[in-house]
Chain A
Amino acid sequence: MHPAASLLIFTTASGLGFGLLALLGVGLPRFDGLSAWAFYSLGFALACGGLLASTAHLGHPERALKAFREWRSSWLSREAWASAATLAVMGIYAVLHLLWGLRVAPLGWLGTALCLGTVVATSRIYAQLRTVPRWNHWSTTALFLGYALSGGALLAGQVTAALLLLILTGGAQIAAWMDGDRRFAARRHSIPSATGLGAPGGIRQFEPPHTGSNYLTREMVFVVARKHVAKLRVIGLALAVLLPVGLLVLPFSHILAALAVVSHVAGVVVIRWLFFAEAEHVVGLYYGRDPVRR
């Protein structure tokens, strides 16, 4: 799939933002005054910035509000509702806390639940697609939650929680990559199943339907990145998990913590870029691209 910058920013920033807000909702870290202002601002800026970036992906951003209509069937619509509800509830919670020093705990818990619900809805936009076997699995949701919470814990300065979450998420990511590499073959999608013709290995594209590219080949049959997959996975994991873990076990300092955050965000961007770039859409089979028999 084509890794559009808007979708990279959307999933990464809103994930981090909702991860941080989820922790703030349960009262972590326990700050008041100026520090609290800084934490809430960062959380809302990331969440709202990510959501705004997602509208850049639309052909008609001016019609974005119509996306609230079909929550009964569409995960994209549910994501819109969940994020709006989260921002409203957490907004009220933050205002009560910052202006009147009131922490309404149940409201915070509700906000935390909504934050996690929003991340789940975002992940389901991708995980629901049976046409992309690599995404079509519960591990996609688990990883979106994992990165949101570990990034949130890092931003919130929760060292122990961040260490634990980073290690868990890193392990889950490795397992998901290994499993995902096998899924296209396991689902038995092939040029013969796509066309009803021939046997595997006994059919190939003779000529494409047109000489140039089209929306589908640019959007769905994206293959540029796959050459460097192994290297990028190592780089992504090193930046997102290993370096932050290393920096966190050192004696605490604000500079090291900031470095850990920067490294983690850079790593998540690399991994999210791979998430899109590596995803093989079954429509590629019609264009002679069989990821199992490359």
Chain B
Amino acid sequence: MTQLPPQSGEGAAVKLGLVIDLDTCVGCHACVIACKGWNTENYGAPLAETDPYGAAPEGAFLNRVHSYEITPEDAPARIVHFPKSCLHCEDAPCVTVCPTGASYKRAEDGIVLVNESDCIGCGLCAWACPYGAREQDPSEKVMKKCTLCVDRIYNESLPEEDRTPACVRTCPAGARHFGDLGDPDSDVSQLVAARGGYDLMPELGTRPVNKYLPPRPKDDEIDVLAPLLEPVAQEPRGFLGWLDRALERL
């Protein structure tokens, strides 16, 4: 069924998703590896590689970390690491374009999934997604995407602390948070409210569930000890001073 599930009343629906803190992410790519590791062994077809040890290795990933350099006019340049996976959009264009019903959004928790045995591998869902969240598996030829580790979060055979997506569980910096963004009182919703969490490409109207927390501004104030670190010799004196003046005169 590739129509989107009917929206329940405001605030009533469960919307599971991630909150990604761009201030905290150190760009270690551990989430990429944890994601690939879990999802290659569990739900659905394994995530294949082509030419893994050759000259042009390539493969399917559900999560990738981009890095950007921001150069503000009034502040020093900075690097922001930017993990990106499926945002489990409320108005998910990847779901409605699917001709077979393989691509669907769950009514009970809003997770967008692919029923791989119905997927014909036409790739239209990947074309419809603005975020590059879907890739065709090079071996299985079906569309792969983030499942929000649906086989972990409800898995009662796992210890309770592991019932969270693999990327969140592994993040050493605590830059990834998982929870119900449909509940305004949940930890993740509070975090989004406190830190000004935002949507990616809001102009496309996809209404992503996942939110991004902006990097905090760097401290403007110069440390009180800084004046003590000023260079002692502003003007060269002694031999260096003579050399400086002599070279000037040449």
Taken residue by residue from 142 to 186, chain A's Cβ proximity to chain B (1 for < 8 Å, 0 otherwise) reads as: 000000000000000000000000000000000000000000000
B38: Cβ under 8 A from any A Cβ:
no
Query: Is the beta-carbon distance between A74 and B97 smaller than 8 angstroms?
Result: yes
A242: Cβ under 8 A from any B Cβ:
no
From DSSP, what is the main secondary structure of chain B's interface residues? loop
- Knowing A76-B99, A281-B127, the reply to whether A67 touches B203 (Cβ < 8 A) is no
| Interface-side segment among A26-34, A203-211, A260-268 | A203-211
Query: Is the beta-carbon distance between A202 and B71 smaller than 8 angstroms?
Result: yes
B6: Cβ under 8 A from any A Cβ:
no
CA gap between A64 and B60 in the complex, in Å: 23
**With a CB–CB cut-off of 8 A, which chain B residues contact A198?**
68, 70-72
**With a CB–CB cut-off of 8 A, which chain A residues contact B132?**
216, 220, 283, 286
CA gap between A209 and B72 in the complex, in Å: 23
| CB-CB contacts below 8 Å: A201-228 with B | 202-210, 212-216, 219-220
Q: Report the minimal beta-carbon distance from B32 to chain A, rounded to whole angstroms.
A: 8
**With a CB–CB cut-off of 8 A, which chain A residues contact B205?**
130
**With a CB–CB cut-off of 8 A, which chain A residues contact B212?**
196
CA gap between A69 and B64 in the complex, in Å: 32
Q: How many residues of B contact A (CB 8 A)?
A: 65
Taken residue by residue from 106 to 135, chain B's Cβ proximity to chain A (1 for < 8 Å, 0 otherwise) reads as: 000000000000111111101111111001
- Knowing A76-B99, A197-B215, the reply to whether A203 touches B22 (Cβ < 8 A) is no
**With a CB–CB cut-off of 8 A, which chain A residues contact B65?**
209
A189: Cβ under 8 A from any B Cβ:
yes
B204: Cβ under 8 A from any A Cβ:
yes
A191: Cβ under 8 A from any B Cβ:
yes
B100: Cβ under 8 A from any A Cβ:
yes
Query: Is the beta-carbon distance between B99 and A69 smaller than 8 angstroms?
Result: yes
- Knowing A75-B97, A197-B70, the reply to whether A132 touches B127 (Cβ < 8 A) is yes
| Interface-side segment among A42-50, A54-62, A100-108 | A54-62
Instruction: Tell me how many residue pairs across A and B have CB atoms closer than 8 Å.
Output: 188
**Which of A61, A187, A189, A195 has most chain B Cβ within 10 Å?**
A195
Query: Is the beta-carbon distance between A60 and B142 smaller than 8 angstroms?
Result: yes
Query: Is the beta-carbon distance between A203 and B124 smaller than 8 angstroms?
Result: no
**With a CB–CB cut-off of 8 A, which chain B residues contact A74?**
2, 96-99
Query: Is the beta-carbon distance between B22 and A60 smaller than 8 angstroms?
Result: no
Query: Is the beta-carbon distance between B127 and A66 smaller than 8 angstroms?
Result: no
**With a CB–CB cut-off of 8 A, which chain A residues contact B128?**
128-129, 131
Q: Which of B79, B101, B131 contacts A283 (CB 8 A)?
A: B131
**With a CB–CB cut-off of 8 A, which chain B residues contact A125?**
124
| Interface-side segment among B164-172, B176-184, B194-202 | B194-202
**With a CB–CB cut-off of 8 A, which chain A residues contact B123?**
57, 59, 219
**With a CB–CB cut-off of 8 A, which chain B residues contact A61?**
120
Query: Is the beta-carbon distance between A205 and B203 smaller than 8 angstroms?
Result: no
CA gap between A80 and B72 in the complex, in Å: 51
Query: Is the beta-carbon distance between B93 and A130 smaller than 8 angstroms?
Result: yes
A231: Cβ under 8 A from any B Cβ:
no
Among all A-B residue pairs, the 9 with the closest Cβ atoms: A59-B121, A59-B141, A77-B99, A209-B64, A67-B99, A76-B99, A283-B132, A66-B100, A215-B135
> A residues within 8 Å of B by Cβ?
1, 57-61, 63-64, 66-70, 72-77, 80, 125, 128-132, 187-189, 191, 193-199, 202-210, 212-216, 219-220, 281-283, 286-287
> B residues within 8 Å of A by Cβ?
1-3, 22, 32, 56-61, 64-73, 79-80, 82, 84, 93, 95-102, 118-124, 126-132, 135-136, 138, 140-142, 198-205, 212, 214-215
With A205-B67, A282-B130 known, 18 other A-B pairs at CB within 8 A are A59-B121, A66-B99, A69-B99, A70-B98, A73-B3, A75-B97, A80-B99, A128-B97, A130-B130, A187-B203, A194-B201, A195-B200, A196-B200, A197-B68, A197-B80, A197-B82, A206-B68, A216-B132
